[in-house]
Structure 1
Amino acid sequence: MGHREGIFGFVMAGFGSRQRKWSAGRFVALALGVSAPVLFWAATTYAPDNWSWQHLTQPLAAVNAAERQFDGTAQQAEQRTPSATSTTPEVMPKAPPPLGTRRPLSEVPNDGSPEGRLLEVYRLIGEGKMREALARAQKLTQDIPNFQLAQLTYGDLLLAQTMPLQTVGNAPSTLSDKASERIGQLRTEALRRIAALQERPPVGAIPKSFIELPASTRHAIAVDASRSRIYLFENRGNGLQLVDDHYASIGKLGAEKSVQGDQRTPIGVYYITSRLEPSQLTDFYGAGALPLNYPNEHDKRLGRTGSGIWVHGVPSDSYARSPQSTDGCVALANPELKAIMDRVQPRTTPVVIARQLEWVEPQAQEGERRSLRNLIEGWRVARSSGDMNRLLNFYSPKFSSGAKDLSQWRQQLSQEAGTGRARNLQIKDLAILAWHDRSDLMVVTFGEVAENQTTGVIKRQYWTKEDGLWKIFFEGVIG
């Protein structure tokens, strides 16, 4: 008997009947992604006398698909050459750091989503309502058979009919390394999901990076790597409002991407550049993708390499991926990605990715917002006046724009001032987003409209603090 067969024999030995042994084995199989031949062995060894293949409510295709995902043999378009200097996984906490007041599971509403339904099962378990929890878990696995964490929970509940459970994924210690790793990933996924719904951001709070967004920016996205969570905000008349959030996966080796193929997710402020439909992609990306502008100008300045960082879905034979399982992208369930893609607009939607988001009340940022507005207004006045000495005080000695250094940039500014093109420039649709990466940084996007004109160009500037003063190190036209 092979090792995986031994796993089934050990797990199912605790079940009092052949029917229960078969049921538990089936859901452990779906959760771990073991092979169809092993499932056939388990069925023929432990199935009830009146068993037939019609009893299998989950198609064998789901088991085969789970195996492909588990063994890493699914076609992956994200393949890159691993970095020789960055192969140690980042140790991310299984349970994320506290966000706010933790509410009991009994107070977590069931919104009808697969995650909400799973949390409802956990709540029922906590209340000792095992029969009801079992029925809910069974229905969830029937509705979404490729939701592996739900399958594992259902297997736990079946096992609980004959023996006490010690943890999520109450599997034997003799599991193979791969199976043990997968169980650990599912446990971490469960903890991240529970924590995200128990510890909510303060009502009305927003990530600190969102300093100012114009009305033309309808939505904004933030990703908290420590919580495996993606947050969607809507820009309403009274400011940003959190409208949705979902479980999400990041890079296999954690966060802070620096080189091509390091399997890490970048940290910083980015923008969605385009929208890719499933018809343009392989099935690996699921419901589609939202490419980001990594590397941004700050990343390039630091020599960071790599590309193809997207927010995307998962293969159609999967429901979700483990917390750290991508090659650097942010991945989430297909229905949830589709809901985001239907709302956001490329080019104007910012995406903040942080190790841990810092949440603040919008009014607490008013002083900083006013100060940065005044700074940018000072730049505008200097540019409109044609005072080169005053204007150049806003630029870093290390400034670059494409192939132009500061000296060449000065020549361009002088030419524009001489022709009067910069006279009485107006700024419209100002967006300011800030973050910290070795220094304080901000990216500023605005429409620049000349005197007596109704339209103009869209500019983007990257600023950093040098010796305590804000300086522009990149400026360019993006539209």
Structure 2
Amino acid sequence: MKKAAAALLFIAPCLVLAFSLARAETRAHANGKRPSPAPATAPHEARGGEAEARLIDIYKLIGQSKPREALRRAEGLVKDHPNFQLAQLVYGDLLASFSRPVRTPGDVPDTVGKPGAAMLAELRQESQLRLRALRERPAPGMVPSQFLALSPRNKHAIAIDASRSRLYLFENTSAGLKLVADYYISVGKSGIEKSVEGDLRTPVGVYFITSNLDPKSLRDFYGSGALPINYPNQLDIKRGKTGGGIWLHGTPPAQFSRAPLSTDGCVVLANPDLERIIRTVEVRSTPVVIAHNLKWMAPQSLAADSKSFENVLQGWHHAKSSGDMAKLTAWYAPDFLSYGKTLAEWTPLLQSEIKQLGGRDIQLKDVSYLRWTDSTDTMVVTFGELIKGAKTGRTKRQYWVRQGSQWKIFFEGTI
């Protein structure tokens, strides 16, 4: 009994998580549902999220006063993932708990712990963030507010909540966005809101995956591969932000995961998690939202805003189809800039496109709206533009800004 009591002092948040998860399972049973068992995994196999799921099971066992079973599971976890430092820490604490009370993760004498104090602090923070993200999971069916409307071409979408060190992967189904996985991530050493090159911050905003880099072309430091995003985007450029080379990438062989704040600005995942994402998402069409805090909303709550902006885009569409240059240019902001061209320099291109129409209508296909709101309200709009009767067209992206009660285009370009 004394040994069990000592083990129960280990990581108080585990108890909170275990009880909350137990309540969720009780509700599921009451509704006639049984929790789905996790698929069996061979020791050498690395599924996305598998190691973290096993770690959480260990926390739950501790909370359920089952320290010996927790120890057995922890031993198996570190055997399968010897580079998982947080799992090693939990395993060590469980071993220690059978001989003395363990009151905090990495509870070692000061004389022993001082040389590794910084690493212990990082591992404790990682543990807290993993537990927090799992305690504060979004309600079923909720989606990030930035995903106003996605087109069928956006087969998947990614949202990152920096405050929880969490990446959420969605599948865009016929019934709407479905959360299929979420993973622990690391961001910049100096946090988020990147502004200038070398500031060691991760950018915030709406981005897209631009390529998939072959891991054979990369140093081991980047792990299983890398997915670059289009930082700086057009809003960043408008605001004078600098820098580049922001990737979603993996970890070096000696590390399963990195500390929450440990990158030069990239978003870093454990290699099995990154591999799942690389296998899943498509280049150029997958949006990546990075926010300090994600605001989760019911899809029906976003429908009114989506419809409202749809009417705005249709206004621009009708002006262009009509061939009326005065009406068309009224939709563009005075400070419009596209690849160095001002509105005055862009107008001849618009005139040329209208001339190509020859009186025919424009059809907009596969339209998506991604909203970003901070000090201003911005809409990132992507669509296929097809002249009626033509077999091929252009894929365009526009950035709109709300100015008072009106929306204006400050960037437009062909992808």
- Short-chain TM bin: 0.7 to 0.9
> Any gaps of 5 or more consecutive residues in structure 2?
1-12, 26-34, 40-49
For residue 349 of structure 1, what is the aligned residue in structure 2?
A: 286
In structure 2, distance between residues paired with 1:383 and 1:263: 43
Q: 2:223 aligns with which of 286, 291, 295?
A: 286
For residue 75 of structure 2, what is the aligned residue in structure 1?
A: 138
Amino acid across the alignment from 1:275 = N
In structure 2, distance between residues paired with 1:105 and 1:122: 11
Does the CA-based 8 Å contact 1:396-1:472 persist in structure 2?
yes
* Superposition deviation, residue 192 in structure 1: 1.1
Tell me the SS of whatever aligns to 1:353.
strand
1:270 and 2:207 are equivalent in the alignment: yes
Q: Deviations over 1:141-185 (max 9, x none)?
A: 111111000000011111111111111111233466662111111
Q: 2:393 aligns with which of 446, 456, 469?
A: 456
Pair 1:150–1:383, CA change in 2 (3 A)? same
Pair 1:174–1:392, CA change in 2 (3 A)? farther
Q: Deviations over 1:356-411 (max 9, x none)?
A: 10000001111101011111111010011111221122111000111210111222
Alignment of 1:70-469 (within 5 A): 104-106=20-22, 107=24, 111=38, 113-174=50-111, 179-420=116-357, 423-469=360-406
Q: Deviations over 1:423-478 (max 9, x none)?
A: 41110000110011320111000000012102101100001112232110000011
Does the CA-based 8 Å contact 2:18-2:63 persist in structure 1?
no
Does the CA-based 8 Å contact 2:363-2:387 persist in structure 1?
yes
In structure 2, distance between residues paired with 1:196 and 1:111: 19
Amino acid across the alignment from 1:193 = R
Q: Deviations over 1:199-255 (max 9, x none)?
A: 211100110000111111110000100000001000111111000111111111101
Higher Rg: 1
Root-mean-square deviation (CA), in Å?
Answer: 1.8
Pair 1:389–1:114, CA change in 2 (3 A)? same
> What is the number of equivalent residue pairs in this alignment?
379
Q: Deviations over 1:43-91 (max 9, x none)?
A: xxxxxxxxxxxxxxxxxxxxxxxxxxxxxxxxxxxxxxxxxxxxxxxxx
Does the CA-based 8 Å contact 2:357-2:387 persist in structure 1?
no
In structure 2, distance between residues paired with 1:416 and 1:362: 36
Pair 1:135–1:426, CA change in 2 (3 A)? same
Tell me the SS of whatever aligns to 2:310.
helix
In structure 1, distance between residues paired with 2:18 and 2:314: 43
> Any gaps of 5 or more consecutive residues in structure 1?
1-94, 96-100
Pair 1:102–1:473, CA change in 2 (3 A)? farther
Does the CA-based 8 Å contact 2:396-2:412 persist in structure 1?
yes
**Once structures 1 and 2 are overlaid, which stretch shifts more, 193-202 or 148-157?**
193-202
Does the CA-based 8 Å contact 1:320-1:332 persist in structure 2?
yes
**Once structures 1 and 2 are overlaid, which stretch shifts more, 403-412 or 442-451?**
403-412
In structure 1, distance between residues paired with 2:247 and 2:94: 37
* Superposition deviation, residue 105 in structure 1: 4.2
For residue 474 of structure 1, what is the aligned residue in structure 2?
A: 411
Alignment of 1:29-68 (within 5 A): none
Amino acid across the alignment from 2:69 = E
Does the CA-based 8 Å contact 2:19-2:63 persist in structure 1?
no
Tell me the SS of whatever aligns to 1:427.
strand
In structure 2, distance between residues paired with 1:206 and 1:447: 25
In structure 1, distance between residues paired with 2:340 and 2:125: 46
* Superposition deviation, residue 340 in structure 1: 0.7
In structure 2, distance between residues paired with 1:102 and 1:210: 32
Structure 1 length normalisation: TM-score? 0.76
Pair 1:323–1:336, CA change in 2 (3 A)? same
Does the CA-based 8 Å contact 1:268-1:437 persist in structure 2?
no
Tell me the SS of whatever aligns to 2:110.
coil
Pair 1:418–1:453, CA change in 2 (3 A)? closer
Does the CA-based 8 Å contact 1:276-1:290 persist in structure 2?
yes
Tell me the SS of whatever aligns to 2:397.
strand
Does the CA-based 8 Å contact 1:399-1:473 persist in structure 2?
yes
In structure 1, distance between residues paired with 2:158 and 2:165: 14
Q: Percent identical across equivalent pairs?
A: 50
Amino acid across the alignment from 2:195 = S
In structure 2, distance between residues paired with 1:395 and 1:151: 57
Tell me the SS of whatever aligns to 1:364.
helix
* Superposition deviation, residue 350 in structure 1: 0.3
Tell me the SS of whatever aligns to 2:254.
coil
Does the CA-based 8 Å contact 1:462-1:474 persist in structure 2?
yes
* Superposition deviation, residue 256 in structure 1: 0.4
